[in-house]
């Protein structure tokens, strides 16, 4: 009891020192953490899991089709209770009797996930849910009633033998792990994974370093900071493009349904997995470095979905992973008590002089350096943009702390207002220089 009281007092003191938009971080004592490991199921376990994946896919697709048809014919929505009753009816159908051969927990979880997906769609946070394909990633979610983890052995429902996996975190004791959910997945390249989701105590805030930074994202350099540091763009997809083209060509020549086509398809999936893993590792390293070395990080609200419509730059922009980089910055800043500010996407950061505030009428994309006609200052395009991004974010932060954390700001052309829950950054508009 004394130890718990001391921890609560420390959290209260830390919350009092933090900005207003971070007060909610310490309302909950725990945070959800995931551990993803390689799994090695035997032949029998693979058959059980593949059968489970197929049943989950069938339940998802049938429920989604029923929702879609009911909305178009009756103009009424479908509740989770109605989908639950539909699942019971499916299990009683003689043609779908195989649904009773697998665990019911992954089927129920598929209904819950679809209900959440529609809630996110109607709240305009996600796109319309799509049908599941057998060619994509397959997964099944098991709650506590469908698995047991004792002595480091994982046993799933409908399996007599424990599932073999490799634990890759020596600093974490596997025997003391109490996961809330276990997710078993199979990637298109044939690899199996098991993910443990655990509720852990909130980490301690990082010590203040007294530094702020503005970050300008680009294609030539992945990011340029207001301090002049450049994070190079490693171009992961471009480096593997020749091999991937060769693998795709071999796949196109194989006959559909043949064993050689399956092998060629797995080789293409492995090539994509290597690119994906290398990009994710690079983004994690870059975002972690920025969060550790700065108290306040200011970025620009880029319209990535609109920018990839440019057929000449679509592949290069997609290879950068700007959206994933922003997502990682957001949750890491929230977790370690840093501040992330997002300025409006229409702010002319590249065309504005960071020395005097003069705004150019035009600035071509090929111009990497330019001289201000007002103060004759020589600017590097990206460094100047990063300085302006930092100045715009700090100006709004000083003027209105509530707007600085992205709460209660209505974006141009968007009628909804996003709250500061989960510290999801939202664009804030600074004073735009006048031409």
Rounded CA gap, 417 and 30, in Å?
27
Catalytic residue of the set 187, 300, 334, 344:
300
Q: Which segments of 174-258 does DSSP mark as H helices, in order?
A: 236-239, 241-253
Of residues 69, 83, 388, the one with CA closest to residue 216: 388
**At 21, phi and psi to the nearest 5?**
-75, 0
Rounded CA separation 348/350 (Å): 6
- 319 included as an active-site residue: no
How far the first Cα of the chain sits from its last, in Å, is: 63
Clarify whether 382 is annotated catalytic. yes
Give which of 344, 361, 343 is closest to 352, Cα–Cα: 361
- The one catalytic residue in 187, 216, 334, 424 is 216
Distance (Å, rounded) from C-alpha 183 to C-alpha 195? 5
Angle value at C-alpha 310, between 306 and 312, nearest 5 degrees: 150
| In contact, 154 and 194? CB cutoff 8 Å | yes
In the numeric block, the tokens 């769609």 are attached to 121
282-292 as b/e, with b when 16 or more CB fall inside 10 Å?
Answer: bbeebbeebbe
Pull the structure tokens for residue 44.
Answer: 């029998």
114: nearest Cα among 99, 126, 103: 126
Q: Is 216 a catalytic residue?
A: yes
Sheet holding 221-225, edge to edge: 230-232, 221-225, 212-217, 296-300, 339-343
Mode of pairing for the β-strands spanning 230-232 and 221-225: antiparallel
Which of the following is catalytic: 301, 319, 344, 382? 382
Which SS3 state, helix, strand or coil, does residue 9 take? Answer: helix
H-only helix segments in 75-196 = 80-92, 104-122
> What burial class does residue 76 get, using C-beta atoms within 10 Å of its C-beta: 0-12 exposed, 13-18 middle, 19+ buried?
exposed
Residues serving a catalytic function are 216, 300, 382
């Amino acid at each position: 009891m004394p130890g718990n009281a001391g921890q609560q007092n420390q959290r209260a003191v830390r919350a009092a020192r933090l900005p207003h938009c971070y007060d909610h971080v310490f309302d909950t004592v725990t945070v959800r953490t995931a551990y993803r490991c390689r799994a090695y199921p035997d032949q029998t376990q693979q058959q059980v899991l593949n059968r489970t994946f197929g049943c989950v896919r069938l339940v998802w697709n049938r429920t989604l089709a029923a929702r879609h048809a009911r909305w178009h014919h009756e103009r009424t929505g479908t509740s989770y209770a109605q989908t639950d009753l539909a699942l019971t009816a499916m299990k009683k159908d003689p043609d779908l009797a195989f649904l009773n051969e697998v665990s019911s927990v992954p089927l129920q979880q598929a209904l819950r996930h679809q209900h959440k997906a529609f809630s996110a769609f109607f709240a305009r946070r996600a796109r319309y849910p799509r049908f599941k394909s057998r060619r994509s990633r397959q997964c099944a979610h098991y709650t506590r009633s469908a698995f047991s983890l004792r002595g480091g052995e994982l046993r799933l429902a409908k399996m007599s033998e424990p599932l073999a996996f490799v634990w890759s975190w020596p600093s974490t004791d596997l025997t003391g792990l109490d996961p809330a959910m276990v997710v078993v997945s199979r990637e298109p390249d044939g690899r199996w994974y098991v993910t443990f989701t655990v509720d852990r105590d909130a980490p301690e805030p990082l010590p203040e370093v007294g530094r702020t930074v503005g970050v300008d994202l680009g294609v030539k350099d992945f990011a340029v900071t207001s301090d002049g540091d450049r994070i190079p763009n490693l171009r992961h997809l471009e480096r593997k493009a020749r091999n991937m083209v060769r693998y795709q060509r071999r796949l196109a020549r194989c006959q559909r349904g043949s064993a050689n086509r399956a092998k060629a398809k797995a080789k293409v999936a492995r090539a994509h997995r290597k690119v994906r893993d290398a990009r994710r590792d690079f983004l994690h390293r870059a975002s972690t470095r920025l969060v550790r070395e700065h108290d306040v990080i200011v970025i620009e609200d880029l319209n990535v979905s609109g920018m990839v419509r440019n057929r000449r730059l679509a592949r290069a922009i997609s290879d950068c992973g700007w959206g994933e980089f922003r997502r990682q910055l957001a949750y890491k800043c929230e977790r370690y008590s840093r501040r992330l500010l997002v300025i409006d996407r229409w702010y002319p950061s590249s065309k504005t002089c960071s020395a005097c505030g003069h705004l150019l009428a035009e600035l071509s994309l090929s111009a990497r350096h330019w001289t201000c006609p007002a103060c004759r200052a020589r600017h590097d395009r990206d460094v100047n943009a990063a300085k302006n991004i930092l100045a715009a974010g700090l100006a709004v932060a000083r003027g209105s702390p509530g707007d600085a954390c992205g709460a209660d700001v209505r974006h141009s052309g968007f009628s909804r207002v996003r709250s500061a829950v989960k510290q999801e950054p939202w664009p804030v508009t600074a004073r735009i220089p006048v031409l």
